Structure 1
Amino acid sequence: MSGQRRPDDAVSGLPAGLSARPRDARRGLPIPPVNVHDGPDGLRVDSTTINTTISTELALARRCSLCGGPMGYWVAFLGGPGAAELLRYTDPPGHAECMTAALSLCPHIALARHRRARADRPGGGMIPPGSHGEKPEKYVLGITRSYRTEFVPSHGFSVYLPAPFKSVHEYEYGPDGRLVTTPRAR
């Protein structure tokens, strides 16, 4: 078995909440509650889309979107520079530790060339309403104490409005196309 990775190897050193989540059989990655959807044959996992009902419920209950655990004093938001500048996110908040883990675990974030699956492909998610669908050139992790959740009935999803960030960390892609997970504070 030399040279082969076990699924657990991909997730060593995870925050406890993420470590306790059910795992994707193919990659061994934790399955966030926001990626579980109702399907015709029961629950299904779709890592390319966010279940807006679950994400809104978690945010309103001040629970992490990635592990489902209660968030304490600090709350983190992860997105592109535009979302950080506007303090307006379509992706829900989570623990800073869980969001930091997502930087290396989520292929869409971790790899510059990784693209969202087309909606017409099996398992391909839809781009959330109000999103332009373009991948940011870098990611910004902002940490704050509070936020508001506003439901947008015309689009059927929520937006998350954090209070001004107390700390901000930027992550850019290196020459190899991988996100450099050593943050640059700004």
Structure 2
Amino acid sequence: MGAAAIPPSLAARPHDDRRGLPIPPVNVHPDPSGGGSHVDFTTINTTVATRLAAERRCSLCDEPMGYWVAFLGGPRAAALMRYADPPGHPECMTAALSLCPYVAIGRHRRARADRPGAGIIPPGSHGDKPDRWLLGITRAYRTRFIAEHGFTTYLPAPFRTVHTYVYGTDGRLQPSTDSR
């Protein structure tokens, strides 16, 4: 797929020293010891994500979203119109397709659940990596907080545009011809 242009708002974020990646606000977590914060790319800070979505701010760059917003997920999320990950600018979500190793590389897997920092699988998720990713663009969405799980789901309005990405023979994500 090649590296997508990184939008200026995403490029301006603090960067992870080891990976050189911009750090989305939803991946910054309070330090359990009470001193500061730490970055965990494998989990979403639900409190931050829910606040950003309520304020209509991008989950990746923390800037206000304009008319269009994007959701990234697998075919099941798109079919159910129910996402575990919050929305962002279409440009930021497009950049995430090549920046996020879990999404960009077919063989990349999440850390085992027994490893520190491995994250949690949201309630109702099967935890399997999709064979394709869909980037849906819409104008509106709702959020639903599921109190018994301490988890928020994001419910987009019908998509105006859907871009599909599949893994090529090299194992890298690339645009598919079945976008609409």
With structure 1 as the length reference, what TM-score do the two structures score? 0.90
Paired residues for 1:111-122 under 5 Å = 111-122=105-116
Runs of 4+ in 1 over 2 A off after TM superposition: 181-184
1:126 and 1:119 map into 2 onto residues whose CA distance is 7
| TM-aligned CA deviation for residue 154 of structure 1 | 1.1
CA distance in 2, matches of 1:33, 1:130: 24
* Cα RMSD (Å): 1.6
- The runs of 5 or more residues in structure 1 that have no matched partner are 1-10
Q: Which residue of structure 2 aligns with residue 155 of structure 1?
A: 149
Paired-residue identity, %: 68
Deviation at 1:84, TM superposition (A): 0.7
Task: Return 60-69 or 115-124, whichever deviates more.
Answer: 115-124
Structure 2 unaligned segments of length 5 or more: list them: none
Provide, for residues 148-183 of structure 1, a one-character-per-residue CA deviation record: whole Å limited to 9, x for no partner. 011011111111100000001100000111111467
Query: Residue 30 and residue 183 in structure 1: after superposition, are their counterparts in 2 closer, same or farther (change >3 A)?
Result: farther
Matched, 1:171 2:160: no
SS of alignment partner, residue 101 of structure 1: helix
1:119 Cα offset (Å): 2.7
Q: Identify the residue that residue 20 of structure 1 maps to in structure 2.
A: 12
Match of 1:131 in 2: 125
CA contact (8 A) 2:164 2:175 kept: no
Give 1:184 deviation, angstroms: 4.2
Q: 1:151 to 1:96 in 2, by over 3 A?
A: same
Describe how 1:1-186 pairs up with structure 2 within 5 A. 13-39=5-31, 40=33, 41-181=35-175, 184-186=178-180
Q: What secondary structure sits across from 1:170 in the alignment?
A: strand
Q: How many residues align?
A: 177
